[in-house]
Amino acid sequence: MVATSAPTPVLECRDLCISYFTRAGEIPAVVDFNLKVMPGESVGIVGESGCGKSTVALAVMQYMGKNGRIVSGEILFNGRDLTAMSQEELRQLRGSQISMVYQEPMASLNPAMRIGRQLMEVPLHHEKVSEAEAHDRALDMLGRVKLPDPQRILEAFPHQISGGQQQRVVIAMALLSGPSLLLLDEPTTAHDVTVEAGIVELIGEIAREFGTSMIYISHNLGLILETCDRITVMYSGEAVEVGTVKQVFDRMRHPYTRGLFNSIPLPGADKYARPLVPIPGQLPLPHERPDGCNFGPRCDYFKEGVCDHGLIEMRPVSRETGHESRCRRFEEIDWDAAAPKRHEVEEAPLGRKVLEVQDLKKYYEIHDRSLMALLTGKEPRYVKANEKLDFDAQEAETVAIVGESGCGKSTFAKVMMGLERATAGKLLLDNQDIGQLPVQRRDKAMVGYLQMVFQNPFDTLNPSHTVGSQIARVIRKFGVERDPDKVKERVLHLLDTVKLPRDFYLRRPRQLSGGQKQRVGIARAFAGNPKVVVADEPVSALDVSVQAAVTQLLMDIQFEHRTTLVFISHDLSLVRYLADRVVVMYLGHIAEQGTTDEVFRPPYHPYTEALLSAVPIADTSVQKKHIVLEGDIPSALNPPSGCPFQTRCPRKIGKICEDEVPPVREFGAGHRIACHLTPEELTAMDPVIVLSEHADETALQPEDAAAPSGDD
């Protein structure tokens, strides 16, 4: 993997420094950055938001905007310095030699042009080929990115195809000119896991088939493991660790990299035995970086006099393999020691049954208001958002509802909160049916009993009111306290509980970071002493290290108050980590439910199996079964007949799946799978994720031999 045969790298960044110039002065975004991409190599850049990874990509494309400038260093593309090129030369390179795929496919495609036209522009512009030739190439490329029915897609407008297909079209567009370098900036972040798995597989195939070099930018370590050869970990504008994926994942030599790994839930993590370890503190603002090591203030191994002065250089960990770390103390640190344990958590004993869902259905009626519909007397159609939901939750229990977008999990949350009324069935909260009861008609105690933590931290707080007043409103509304002094005291106490400083009382939401806002959101949800809290993807919009902290906090408060937590999520790693029971939903139906152990072990529902295999896991010792689902989730307006999953199921038996709704099969107490496969067939499945303890040792041996033993 290291340069021995190929002489010139496709891309080389040398001592790159990039700054943005704003009213506040010069803000260094990237400092002293080195990167080498060899032909055919995939390099991952990983880091949290604000670490400068996207700035690097923009610098390579030379799209720095009005106020961004490369202060020093050079970017060599096939040996030529990009910073010295004229606008005309750059235009020739962009889109033909260097292509970029952005996060949001809809923003990359022109909504007013047919896809075929947009694709044809690439060869028409760069290679001046004929119309017919361009058309043929576009058609061919759509087939190669595995799009079904390329001819139809060529004729379609971007909004007529699904998000996953759009991203494939964007990748096809990037590949049409046969670039030697492909930049991918979080290409799958906006997609569901099963769609993501398909795109990741495609990216891997591209690397093999076209021999294109790639820079893959992501915050997800698991994705980097699946796609890249080498990895650069960035923190606060600097690369802190560089090496092959195996080196960095198995023998990390920078405290930040280690912190990252400790804060993501890996298959071995368990909320009782091995809790997540969040990185303390916050990312420093670009103009408030500390002297010496940027990570110093948050580092467990920080040593005064060593880490807090001067410029910290990248130093090689082992000379031969190109593994480098920007840490002064990596030789002294005992990397094999277990991660510092936060505190012991004992298992919470479950209490009585609090929530019971029985045959709950929620249909939305769609009226066709056109004149034709009136004349022909067309029947209203239904969107079946929830179909026969059936599960329950106990006191102090965490029940996770898992599924991809459009599976009806948010609709269920709305029914529960009383914003929508159930079409049929019962939703019993402490034996009181609230399924038909809109929130205005529930009594105050009931409303306070059931609260919610929302997904988007930037939306969850009203920007016009102070943090304190928003929490205080909940306390007064539910009559927990009335006396103004006592209300204030309780708000401050809640701020302590969510580990925020007390002077946040007077702050406005825009002065808070995403993680802090989410903490306020949690404080607000718990302000009325709720018994059941619905958390709708509470951490999915946060950075990895913040995610761990907020997750821990949520669990600590839940433990203390013995609250029932209904945790809605698409992130199976997180669910496995924190949930006691899991409900897997697909297209409004429950596909499988059971305790976490039961769901993550065979027998699986075929959908659970596919979901599990689609989740990227940042652990080299994990071996996964490889299942990629075909196609997209069908529309809930026009669901498939029989089993909802039959259109994409890799284990489809045949006609019975299309005709009959699958029976719910019981495996032990409470583990239920809705599938036509016989119990024997289901039990005979292999586990998707295998932790192979020996795999990593054998794989590491050659490197161990290469690196001198005095390494650590």
Please state whether 154 falls in left (phi above 0), alpha (psi between -120 and 50) or beta.
alpha
Angle, CA of 383, 387 and 393, to the nearest 5°: 135
Region of 414 (left: φ > 0; alpha: ψ -120 to 50; beta: rest) is: alpha
Residue 250, H or E segment:
helix 245-250
Looking at the Cβ atoms of 459 and 697, the one nearer to other proteins is: 459
Comparison of 152 and 486: residue with beta carbon closer to other proteins: 486
DSSP state letter for 180: S
Contact 74, 261 (CB under 8 A): no
Give Dmax (Cα) for the chain: 85
User: Does 131 sit near other proteins (CB under 8 A)?
Assistant: no
Considering only the stretches 3-11, 230-238, 453-461, 673-681, report the one whose residues sit in contact with other proteins under the rule CB under 8 A: 453-461
- Using the minimum distance from each CB to other proteins, give the nearer residue, 438 or 708: 438
Q: Which of 69, 329, 361, 488 binds other proteins (CB under 8 A)?
A: 488
DSSP 8-class letter at 284: P
Q: Are 264 and 621 in contact (CB under 8 A)?
A: no
The reply to whether 364 sits near other proteins by the rule CB under 8 A is no
Angstrom CA distances, 547 to 94, 140, 151, 265, stand at 36, 42, 43, 10
Q: Is 444 in the site for other proteins (CB under 8 A)?
A: yes
On whether the CB atoms of residues 227 and 644 are closer than 8 A, the answer is: no
455 makes contact with other proteins (CB under 8 A): yes
Q: Which stretch binds other proteins (CB under 8 A): 226-234, 245-253, 313-321, 470-478?
A: 470-478
Smallest distance from the beta carbon of 460 to other proteins, in angstroms? 5
Total site size for other proteins, rule CB under 8 A = 37
Which residues 397-426 are close enough to bind other proteins by CB under 8 A?
417-419
Each residue 21-40 as x (binds other proteins by CB under 8 A) or -, in order, gives --x-----------------
Tell whether residue 447 is a contact of other proteins (CB under 8 A).
Answer: yes
Q: For residue 413, which amino acid is it?
A: A
Q: Where are the beta strands (DSSP E) in 188-311?
A: 213-218, 230-235, 238-244
Q: How far is the CB of 355 from other proteins (least distance, A)?
A: 16
Task: Report, in Å, the least distance between residue 566 CB and other proteins.
Answer: 13
Identity of the residue, 43 or 527, whose beta carbon is nearer to other proteins in the bound complex: 527
477 lies in the binding site for other proteins (CB under 8 A): yes
CB of 77 to other proteins, least distance (A): 35
Nearer to other proteins, 335 or 458 (CB): 458
CB of 497 to other proteins, least distance (A): 13
Of 122, 226, 127, the residue nearest 170 (C-alpha): 122
- The rounded distance, in Å, linking the Cα atoms of 35 and 33 is 7
User: How many angstroms from the chain centroid is the CA of residue 430?
Assistant: 35
Minimum CB separation from other proteins for residue 461, in Å?
6
List 489, 560, 681, 697, residue binding other proteins (CB under 8 A): 489
199 Cβ contact partners less than 8 Å away, ≥ 6 residues apart: 164, 167, 168, 171, 187, 188, 191
| Binding-site member from 15, 209, 359, 459 for other proteins (CB under 8 A) | 459
In angstroms, the Cα distances linking 457 to 47, 315, 517, 619 are 20, 38, 6, 29
Q: Which residues here bind other proteins, judged by CB under 8 A?
A: 23, 417-419, 439-440, 442, 444, 447, 450-452, 454-456, 459-465, 473-474, 477-478, 485, 488-489, 492-493, 502-503, 505-506, 521, 524
